[in-house]
Amino acid sequence: MKPYEVRAPRSGELRQLAQLKIDWAGLDPRPNRAAEWAYADQLSAWMDRMGDKMLCRVAVMGDELIGMAWLVLFERVPDFGDLKRKTGDLQSVYVVPHKRGRGIGLALVSALCAEADQRGIPRLTVHSRTPGIVLYEEAGFHQAATLLYRDAPPAQE
């Protein structure tokens, strides 16, 4: 039996989840406690608004959240032969540093992939920094040389 569980977050864990998201972002300096709690409220409201267009899975060891992964679901422009083209984007996969190397990240990603498969979502994407690529390839993702992206130009003052 694994020493951790992967599941959907519970309402009483939203502050811990917000703290994981802040850790993932690597904010320096770290927000104060009041700002973290305000962010937790905003994150909770966003999750409520998104409803079934978003999935979150957390890794839990005891009472502590030790990892998270998010999947945002949306429909693509309909094709003639496929009027409901669903897709998903995997985001903010994070495991606390002292728990890495134990398969937790792979378990989180695999849980979201399984959920997408159950919902009939044929394509998932993920944008990763180089160290994470091995994890995603192990979960069945493939690199595509044709994927392009555009960053918005800097704001003009």
Q: What share of the chain is helix, strand, coil (3-state, %, to 5)?
A: 40, 25, 35
- Lowest average pLDDT, out of 56-60, 83-87, 136-140, goes to 83-87
In a domain, 102, yes or no: yes
Instruction: State the pTM of this model.
Output: 0.91
Give 64-77 pLDDT, tens digit per residue.
999 999 999 999 99
Q: Are 66 and 51 in contact (CB under 8 A)?
A: no
In a domain, 143, yes or no: no
**pLDDT value of residue 23:** 96
Print the domain residue range for 76. 5-138
Q: Parallel, antiparallel, or unpaired: how do β-strands 5-7 and 54-61 relate?
A: antiparallel
Residues 6+ away with beta carbon under 8 Å from 136: 90, 109, 126, 128
In a domain, 76, yes or no: yes
| Cα distance between residue 57 and residue 8, in whole Å | 5
Which domain CATH number covers 18?
A: 3.40.630.30
In a domain, 88, yes or no: yes
Q: What is the mean pLDDT of residues 144-156?
A: 88
Structurally, the chain folds into a number of domains equal to: 1
Give the up-direction half-sphere exposure of residue 156: CA atoms within 13 A in the CB hemisphere: 0
Give 85-127 pLDDT, tens digit per residue.
899 999 999 999 999 999 999 999 999 999 999 999 999 999 9
